[in-house]
Amino acid sequence: MSELKEGQQAPAFSGKDQDGKPVSLADYSGKTLVLYFYPKDDTPGCTAEACNFRDNYQALLGKGIAVVGVSVDDEKSHRKFATKHSLPFPLIVDTDQAIVNSYGVWGEKNMYGKTYMGTNRTTFIIGPDGRILHIIRKVKNDSATAQVLDLLEAK
């Protein structure tokens, strides 16, 4: 699959969140969506990123921006993570890797000299028309919201 680019139509997705509720791209038609992919529930970087979105969630909603997280962890893991950190937005379960693959964020990673496959932390900002406005490949976990807002305000 070729790498997604800004301006392209975002791939349609559907899945279930931490509470078993269905979530799809179509649910956000007419809104700006921050679709963020993260490697693993309750790890330091992923927690910092999720909590940054949580802490700024009302400000994002006030600007008409929705937030959805995606990882390959299961529903139980997502529910525990969302509850522990009071996350107010859906975390999509992608255990079959369908969404991470359609967005091209599943790939080879390297940690401590070991190579393995995993989710590359990436944020997609999808416009009200379903097109990708911005792709953030170098996410700053503790200022993820500021990265999003800076890009949207620069338009």
Q: Among 104, 99, 31, which Cα is nearest to 69's?
A: 99
- 65: tokens are 């921006």
Query: How far is the C-alpha of 145 from the C-alpha of 150, rounded, in Å?
Result: 8
pLDDT(14) > 80: yes
pLDDT tens-digit series, residues 73-104 = 999 999 999 999 999 999 999 999 999 999 99
More confident position, 35 or 116 = 35
Q: Catalytic site residues?
A: 46
∠ Cα 100 103 108 (to 5°): 60
pLDDT(1) > 90: no
Domain ranges of the chain: 29-153
Q: Among 80, 75, 107, 120, which Cα is nearest to 93's?
A: 75
pLDDT tens-digit series, residues 21-78 = 999 999 999 999 999 999 999 999 999 999 999 999 999 999 999 999 999 999 999 9
What's the mean pLDDT in 134-152?
Answer: 95
Which option is the CATH number for 29-153: 3.40.30.10, 3.20.190.10, 3.30.470.20, 3.40.1670.10? 3.40.30.10
SS (H, E, C) 45-88: HHHHHHHHHHHCHHHHHHCCEEEEEEECCCHHHHHHHHHHCCCC
Phi-psi region of 109 (alpha: psi -120 to 50; beta: other; left: phi over 0): beta
